[in-house]
Amino acid sequence: MRRPRARWSALAAGIEAATPAGRDRAVDALRAFAILGVVLGHWLVTALTTAEGGLSTTSPLAHMAWLAPVSWVFQTLAVFFLVGGRVAAGGYATARARGDSYRDWAGRRLGRLFRPVVAVLLLWTVAAGGMLVGGVELDTVRTLLKLVLSPLWFLLVFAALTAATPLVARLHPLWPVAVVAGVDLWRFGSGGPEWAGWVNVAAGWLVPYTLGAAWSRGAFARRGPCLLLLGAGAAATAALVLWGGYPASMVGVPGAAMSNLNPPTLAAVTFGLAQCGLALLVREPLGRAMRRPGAWAKVALVNLSAMTVFLWHQTAMMTVTALGLLVSPDLPGLHTVPGAPEWIAARLLWLPVFAIALALCWATFRTYEQGRRPRPCGPARPARNDRPRPRPGRSRPEPTAPGLPHRTRSTPPVGSVAPADSTPPTRSTPYACSAPPVRTAVPARVGPSPRASAGAVTHA
């Protein structure tokens, strides 16, 4: 037990040492919480049942409407767009100051988003083809593919807003709020076409994105604007749900006449305003909590694979569900209809199993997001020199620029102490590093040694 704990402590210490001093750790913490909220929300409100023969999707929200407040906790997409706007606007401003082109900046950011998607699409293309050839019902395959591909709409919207950062970074958030309100009024008040609601897919998520851009310019340095966002957003959401006819659930419910999320409605936007206000209020306590190396290491590791976790969490749940069919087609909380509180208790027991399956997916596919494996944190080993060493007490020539005579540098005799500036240089790395190897220092020998001069420290 001590060895894993020691390795974790070494990893946390390496990440802590490699993190730039000026990094806003609260931003990373909010992004990690937003991603984990979406993952847990999907695992809790999405159920694959065998009640109709094949696998079909349903939700406990469709059978137990009193669970709607659960969606208020786990529908955290607005926080993700808030952080995305803050990071993108700040990063673009820094890139311009450095002289980078828009093409280079956008290529780096969008490449990190879309690299993990390739692996998901390739694997599920092969899996869907194999299931159809093996005789699996078309409706079952369609159900599984819908669950896998549904997170991609979010990624496409996020990528589009990221690419448009130079155009929307200084847009006031009230403008997209007005667009969403106008579209809802047309759809629900004047009998407008349903396709008009898809305008809100861009306008609705542009609201928290522009709030994030304003955050990067220092708009929320004081608590007053944050409290206003929280209070006004919560009051508006309550009014729309109680008297405006909007659903109480902030996620889609199968069979419901209206969804707050697909496409986003005014209630979803005002709810997102309240969430953003709360996130901005807790950023300082979060920043203080992230000063602890252990807590910061967990957040940093989630951020390194945020897209991998988001894209593969549904696959992890479906894999466990499919393997469970080999045991029984009616495992409680996995294949049964979520129509009673007992289902919730059973579902909670399955969450660790989903997490293990997601960890396996992460270990297999994280390299698609992270790219090349990062170098270990810590001092780089000095290059090995196979040339003959000069004898102690003698001088050896030191190369200089061409045309100048060689200078000589005396090798310290055996028993002397190496100069302070002889320590090999270290390689600086970002916090995205792998676990530093645990090195054990061997005490220096006292007295003459045929292999190394005293005072030199070797690493095992």
Cα separation, 246 vs 238, whole angstroms: 10
Give the number of C-alpha atoms closer than 13 A to the C-alpha of residue 98, restricted to the C-beta side. 11
Instruction: Please name which of 45, 89, 121, 319 lies closest in space to residue 218, comparing C-alpha atoms.
Output: 89
Low-confidence ranges of the chain (pLDDT < 50): 374, 376-388, 393-460
Residue type, position 25, single letter: R
Q: How far is CA 95 from the centre of its chain?
A: 22
Structure tokens at 338: 């979520």
pLDDT tens per residue, range 248-274 = 999 988 888 899 998 999 999 999 999
pLDDT of residue 389: 52
pLDDT of residue 1: 58
Cα separation, 176 vs 106, whole angstroms: 23
Q: With the C-alpha atoms ordered 143, 144, 145, 151, is the resulting torsion angle positive or negative?
A: positive
Q: What is the pTM of this model?
A: 0.79
Q: How far is CA 67 from the centre of its chain?
A: 27
pLDDT tens per residue, range 83-141 = 999 999 999 999 999 999 999 999 999 988 888 898 999 999 999 999 999 888 888 88
Instruction: Please name which of 230, 295, 213, 231 lies closest in space to residue 26, comparing C-alpha atoms.
Output: 295
Cα separation, 362 vs 316, whole angstroms: 10
